[in-house]
Structure 1
């Protein structure tokens, strides 16, 4: 997946689907992406989740990436992890956390200039993760990010 082909907005699914998540997927802008994490599910339940997500994604014109697939996606937090992802030719690389996030309150956000340096090293093909929403993406896009991903931003958008 090249930066040109990659969606700019990614919804992260990290648990079995609930009605609110399905609603968010059905309302996601066409051309967005879904990144499946959900590592803790039993294999059968995970296969069913992938099948259902594939149906929803195809119906809405969304990309679907399963982090468990080889070289599909990697979440990176520093130079060492970024280098590993680049050497493995990982298609979707998410740098985290760019902002404070409720899912990892003990993690400190990556300083802006360090994030910019990592984006340059990755040929400006990084996706921003961690406390992200569209407004925050607009602030950090000039640092070299090609998109953003989140969980709670999608849920909040449904409530407004």
Structure 2
């Protein structure tokens, strides 16, 4: 069994243990896919293919300290602010609704925000959603439980896409590519 299959199996088991997996085992109780693979030929942009400003944002995100619990949007906003492109504020759901309109992984570029309108892992996520930054090479960086982490894109899309479809776009509509 490959690492991807093991990751998928662990996620499905965790969703089932939390009662979030529908009886068919393919969808969640919210009607969303239980696993969201990156389709062959639709890989997102790699870090080495990114422009200088995109790579600088990744460095800014890596150097941005974690925020408190349920502060994922504040962390994203601070990383972008450190880049010097201005400050856009709002909760994760506001960023999702305002700037995230793409859902094809082939359109996902380094520096885009990835967000969901609802995340069922706590009242903050349910009310405000969740957001992170795509940092290239199939990874999303986000701030969860007062720590910054990197997660494989497929795992991030699957675990946070339980209650609403993940989408991405440029924060504030400001393209870095």
Confirm or deny a common fold (TM above 0.5): no
Give the number of the structure with larger relative contact order, counting CA–CA contacts within 8 Å between residues 6 or more apart: 2
**TM-score band w.r.t. shorter chain:** under 0.3
